[in-house]
Amino acid sequence: MLVIWATSRLLTTTLLASLFIVATRLDWNFASHRSDPNFFTFSGSWDSSFYRQIALRGYPTELPTDVAGNVLPNAWAFLPVFPWLVRGVSALTGIEFYVAGVLVATLLGALAALALYRLLSPRVGVHSALWAVALFCFGPLSFILQAAYAESLFSRSLLALSRAFTTPIWSLSCPGGPASSVGFRSFRSRRGF
């Protein structure tokens, strides 16, 4: 399963690097201004600059507005867990935010692929689960699972929670006790889980 992930990252990294080279040679502006444009800052364009702001300075105390009073794009639109994880890795290793962001996202993407496999293999068999992982890893938008974005964290969390909700042990640990377990088992039986 991890061979599928590694192969897909080799392909997506090659495609992203090719796009970076073309963008640099043709002098395209990156989505977010970078004083030092490199592959990692390119992989961390758009939303990642807000994640970096959250990691380094936290959220703004006032919403930025234009002259008409309209709220401008800002860090308040983004959740804090991913930038905090990246800040922690950056602090432990000493590497720059965008490099740490790509590494964290890539690791979380691999964990998401593993969680998908673990969720599906008992239900559809190993062969079909591996095909699902391959489609997940090689899909047209799968490059985002290695960009310094939170999508890999969200995917990993969603898939891990989905697996947890479909395992019998989860129903025994529901906060509502047996009543909530019975309700959840009823839901599972109707959904074919």
Quickly state the pLDDT bin for 154 (edges 50, 70, 90): very high
Where is pLDDT greater, at 181 or 3? 3
Q: What is the mean pLDDT of the chain?
A: 83
pLDDT for 155: 94
Residue 133 exposure: Cα atoms within 13 Å on the Cβ side: 30
All structural domains of the chain with their residue ranges: 2-168
pLDDT for 34: 57
Quickly state the pLDDT bin for 32 (edges 50, 70, 90): low
pLDDT for 16: 85
pLDDT for 178: 46
Cβ atoms < 10 Å from Cβ of 71: 11
Give mean pLDDT, residues 23-46. Answer: 70
Cβ atoms < 10 Å from Cβ of 18: 10
Nearest Cα residue to 116 out of 104, 133, 140: 133
Where is pLDDT greater, at 148 or 167? 148
Give mean pLDDT, residues 55-73. Answer: 90
Q: Return the structure tokens found at 32.
A: 């977010």
Task: Specify the residue for token string 């004083």.
Answer: 35
pLDDT for 117: 96
Q: Is the pLDDT of residue 61 over 50?
A: yes
Instruction: Give residue-wise pLDDT tens across range 75-98.
Output: 888 889 999 999 999 999 999 988
